[in-house]
Structure 1
Amino acid sequence: MKDAGRQRRFPTGDLARVAVFAALIAVLGLPGSLNVFGNVVPITLQTLGVMLAGAILGTWRAALAVTVLLVLVAAGLPLLSGGRGGLGVFAGPSAGFLIGWIPGAAVTGWLVERAGRNPGIVSLVVACLVGGVGVIYLIGIPVQAAITGAALWPTLLASAQFLPLDLVKAVVASGVARGTQRAYPDAVPAVHRERLRTGGGR
């Protein structure tokens, strides 16, 4: 007979946090997007939300928050910057970057979890840059090149224009995450993971 008090796979509190961050990423699309230097993939603030999700929620909750958002987008809700939505966005030049949000958030969260119970600002920035920039670019740039028919190198150079702003996003996300974790120590991904393992999550 199974233990009636067995830990739930998806604690209610975690599901609520996932929903909040999915909504946050959507809200960060409200200011719109900006195409610069002729790049068909726009600059948006939504990748800031992806970094925040990873740095604050940890691996699986961050990935789930982004997945929820993208499922809603695929269903037709205009939750991306510029009011975009529908399956068509996953056939456009931004498709790889959007899909890359999921592993990008997960890798960010995974690195923050490995940084321990009191991750420093440098660890957070590195996690955001590796997951929220590196992983997303690794998927997004080749897909953009394939969809547009452009060569990979020029596409890479065009995307490199976004790096200064992405660095700013990583620093901002890290600062917010650090402040959140100081105010709510139980929100640190490594701490939360330990609590779940010991049955203390909710």
Structure 2
Amino acid sequence: MSILNKFLPNVMPIWDQVWQATLETLYMTFFSAIIAGILGLIVGILLVVYDQGGIMPHPAVYSILDKIVNIFRSIPFVILLAVIYPLTRLLVHTTIGNTAALVPLVVGTIPFYARQVQNALVQVDGGIIEAAQAMGASNIDIIFRVYLREGLPDLIRVSVLTLISLIGLTAMAGAVGAGGLGNLAVSIGYQRFQNDVTFVAMIIILIMVFIVQGVGDWLTRLTTHV
């Protein structure tokens, strides 16, 4: 304990705040990932099936979805926080705190994940899709039994990438009032020149990233066809 007090003099007295900030980051990451994951997966699948070479080609719908995804992917997250300020207030009646941060986190993650899902699913062997169609499989069957099943390892990889990116976004949101480790690192560590607080916040975020990457790699190996 004396060693910790020596190297982390500013962290030990506020350890409760560090723990609370960690829980807030986990809260933002978990619920944003669930909501954005479901919606992003749906949009990604639609981009694949409505594409010109998809199983349900629809150029008009594809063009609209593609442009929406491109637009929202191009907006820097810090600017997005301000742009959707009215939507955040409408949905959660506040623009400050970790619950309010869920709105921009979800909006910012959906297009990113949708594009990653699209890139993963287009790698599915077209021959398998054609074989399923020849056997009379419906479009729904092809989506769930071919696209999602055959593309599962790649979907896991892009999900891990998205989740790691989302952890970074929670830190950025925290820096502008959303709470969490980002807020801790800036409001206490940076503004009060307490570098050990910033260092500990960074280490905790890195641990989260390593855990996500490790679990993702394990699941990818588990689901990859030998």
Question: What is the TM-score of this pair, normalised by structure 2?
Answer: 0.33
Question: What is the TM-score of this pair, normalised by structure 1?
Answer: 0.36
**Higher helix share goes to which structure?**
2
